[in-house]
Amino acid sequence: MTAHSPALSTGETPGVRLGRARRGDMAATEDDFAEFVRVALPGLMRYGHALTGNPHDAADLVQTVLEKVGARWNRISSDCQDPTAYVRKAMANAHISRWRRTRKETLLAEFPDVPSVPQQDRLENEPVWEALRELPPRQRAVVVLRYYEGLSEVEIADTLGVSCGTVKSQASKAMASLRKRLGALVEGGEA
């Protein structure tokens, strides 16, 4: 033990971070990740729902991102100050990537034999959700993180990997669009 060891000054055992698994200890890493998921999952599902606009796509998004994060959890938990912010950023990036891939028209060679019956989303005709769905993905992410998750501009910038100025401009544009859309609905018109 040397005097310059930071573990000695904080009372930690060398090689172990408080609340984190020791490198190489697979069972402890899995337990740490399971605990993270247990605690963070409700908030991640709410965030995913607000990003995607429906609970089914939200569940798919959260599952996809958590699978990727779980595979690298040992490194993420040791390198990141806030793993939840890391996961939110990964969710926003995955959602934007999915949106870019799927916004193109998909042609089918044949029609399906059984017509699908879409499940009615309870928020389908909710004006705020409809207006929120019409925002571009980055603006929607900023609005959701600010007003639904209650994050500050600095936290949103860190989560999305953009500057505070970008967060402010995206929030301003999003709020102007929402005011215009919802104002038209209040006046009785349909925008």
pLDDT in tens, 112-134: 565 556 666 666 677 888 888 88
Q: Give the residue from 26, 39, 49 showing the smallest Cα distance to 82.
A: 39
Contacts of 8 (CB under 8 A, 6+ apart): 1, 2, 14
Q: By C-alpha distance, which of 126, 136, 133, 156 is closest to 49? A: 133
Mean pLDDT of the chain: 78
Q: Average pLDDT of 159-175?
A: 93
Distance from C-alpha of 141 to C-alpha of 63, rounded to nearest angstrom = 18
pLDDT at 106 over 50: yes
To the nearest whole percent, how much of the chain has pLDDT over 90? 38
Burial call 160-182: b when 16+ CB within 10 Å, e when fewer: bebeeebbeebbebbbebbeebb
Higher pLDDT, 108 or 35: 35
Give residue 54's pLDDT: 84
Contacts of 67 (CB under 8 A, 6+ apart): none
Task: Indicate the SS3 state at residue 174.
Answer: helix
pLDDT of 111 higher than 70? no
Residue 163 has a pLDDT of 94
pLDDT-wise least confident of 12-26, 74-88, 124-138: 12-26
What does the pLDDT look like over 22-41, one tens digit per residue? 445 666 778 889 999 999 99
Q: Are 92 and 44 in contact (CB under 8 A)?
A: no
